[in-house]
Amino acid sequence: MPKKKKSHGRPDASQMSPLRAGGRILGDLQIPFRRFLETEFADEPEVVPLEDLEARLMESLGWLALSFGYDLVPATGTSFAGAELAELFTEIVPQVAEHNDLDAQELVDETRLAWTSYLMFLGESENWAGDPGDLADCLDVASGGVGAQAEMTGTVLDALAAAQNRLPVSDRVQDLLGLPTVAAAVQAVETHGAAAAQDFTPVSEFDAEQFLAALGESGLLTPGELSPEEYRYELGSAYLAALITDVLAACPSPGAIIGALSVVASSVLDPMSAPRLRELLEGTEDGSAVDEEFDAALAVVARLVELGVLSSVEPWTSRPGLAGAVLDVVEGFFSSEPQD
C-alpha cells in the first residue's frame, strides 16, 4: 500500500472515519470479497454476521491506514507486511477497544477473523500484489500463528517495552513483589547479599547459578547507582525472567516451547485462550502431533499459573508490571543464535 510517514497510536478522530478510509482502500474489491465470504461460510454457522465481518475489515483497514499514514488510494489494499498486521492486532485494536469501552479480546478476535478471511480471498482470487511469502506471513500473523515470528520480533519487543514503560517503577515493583517467589528472592538478596542466592531455590525449576550469572551480567550483584526501588525492580525482574525461562526450557519439545512462550508474550499484549493456543499449534505441527504439543504447552502454562505469573482464568493475562520480565524472556528466546 502507498505510504506517507508513519504515525504511531490510535487514529486521530479529526481524520476521515476509519470505516470510510477502509472502504476507499478496499475499493471495487468489496463486492467480490462479500461473495467470497458468502461462499466460504455457506455451510458453517456464522460466528460473526457476514455484514459485520465485512464492516470489521473495512474499519480495521482504516485503523491501519490512518495509524501508518497510508495514502488512501482506491483498491490498493492488496499487500501488507506481517509486522504491520502484528501491530494492528497487539497495539492498535486494543487501543481502539479501550477508547470506545469495548471488549478488547472480542474485538481482536473479530478483527483477526476478518483479516484471515480477506487474506485468503486475496490469495485465492489472485489479487495479492506482494510476494507469496509475505502473504503466508500475514496469514500466520492474522490467525495467531508464529511462522512469521522472526519478522514480528522487533514489533513485539517494542510493544513489550512500551507496556513496561507505561507504568512507574513503584507500580512495577508492587506487581513483581505480589508474586511470593519473587518477593522471597528479592528479600534474600537484599538481606543476605547476592552470595546467599547460591542456596536459594524456592521452586524446583529455579537455577541459582543461572540467576547469579544473570545478576553478574546485568551488574545487579550490587545496587550501584540505582535507587533502592529501582534496584528492587531490576532484581525482581531479572529473577522472574530467569524463572520463566527455566520453566519454558522444561518443555519436552520445540513446539510446546513456542506455544507456551506465545501464551507468555500474549499475556501482556493480546491475551490468549486455550482455543487460540491450539489453533497456533495446528498451524505449526502436523495433525498427529497437535494433541501432544497442546497438552505439553498447557502443562507449562499451568505451572506458570501456579507460580502466579499467569492468571488462573482465560484468556491468560499477567500483571502489567511483569512486562519487563516477559520482554527479557521473549528477547532471550528469539535473539539467541543457534548453537553449532
180 neighbors 308 (Cβ within 8 angstroms): yes
Greater confidence (64 vs 310) lies with 310
Contact 160, 323 (CB under 8 A): yes
Query: Over the stretch 63-76, which tens digit does the pLDDT of each residue have?
Result: 888 887 777 777 77
Structural element, H or E, at residue 34: helix 30-40
Model pLDDT for residues 111-122, shown as the tens digit of each residue: 888 888 888 888
In this predicted structure, the answer to whether residue 243 has a pLDDT above a threshold of 80 is yes
- pTM as predicted: 0.54
Is residue 338 scored above 60 in pLDDT?
no
Pairwise CA distance, residues 326 & 316, whole Å: 14
For the stretch 277-293, pLDDT in tens is 888 887 655 555 788 88
Report the pLDDT value the prediction gives residue 179, as an integer from 0 to 100.
Answer: 93
User: Residue 15: pLDDT above 50?
Assistant: yes
pLDDT computed for residue 301 by the predictor: 94
> Which residues share a beta bridge with 316?
272
pLDDT value at position 11? 42
Residue 62: which region, alpha, beta or left (left: phi > 0; alpha: psi -120 to 50)?
alpha
CB 310 within 8 A of CB 301: yes
Confidence of residue 4 (pLDDT cuts 50, 70, 90): very low
Cell matching residue 125: 482470487
Confidence of residue 123 (pLDDT cuts 50, 70, 90): confident
* Residue 162 to residue 320: CA distance in whole angstroms: 11
pLDDT tops 90 at residue 219: no
Output the DSSP codes for 99-118.
Answer: HTT--HHHHHHHHHHHHHHH
Average pLDDT rounded to a whole number, residues 137-163 = 63
DSSP string, 194-253: GGGGGG--SSTT--HHHHHHHHHHHTTTS-TT--HHHHHHHHHHHHHHHHHHHHHHT-SS
User: What pLDDT score does 215 carry?
Assistant: 65
Radius of gyration of the chain (CA): 22
254-277: pLDDT as tens digits: 778 888 998 998 888 878 889 888
Q: Does residue 2 carry a pLDDT above 50?
A: no
Provide the residue ranges of all domains of the chain, joining segments of one domain with +.
18-143, 164-335
Taking the C-alpha atoms of 241, 293, 278 and 261 in order, what is their torsion angle to the nearest 10 degrees? 10
> What's residue 176's pLDDT?
95
Residue 36: CB atoms within 10 Å = 18
pLDDT at 171 over 90: yes
Which of the given ranges, 115-129, 174-188, 296-310, has the highest pLDDT on average? 296-310
- What is the per-residue pLDDT for 303? 92
- Residue 306: per-residue pLDDT: 92
Cα–Cα dist 258/247, whole Å? 13
Distance in angstroms (rounded) separating the CA atoms of residues 275 and 315: 10
How crowded is residue 107: how many other Cβ atoms within 10 Å of its Cβ?
20
pLDDT score recorded for residue 124:
84
Nearest alpha carbon to residue 196 among 243, 240, 235, 228 = 235
Alpha carbons 337 and 327: distance in angstroms, whole number: 17
* pLDDT of the residue at 284: 59
The Cα 291–Cα 90 span in angstroms is 27
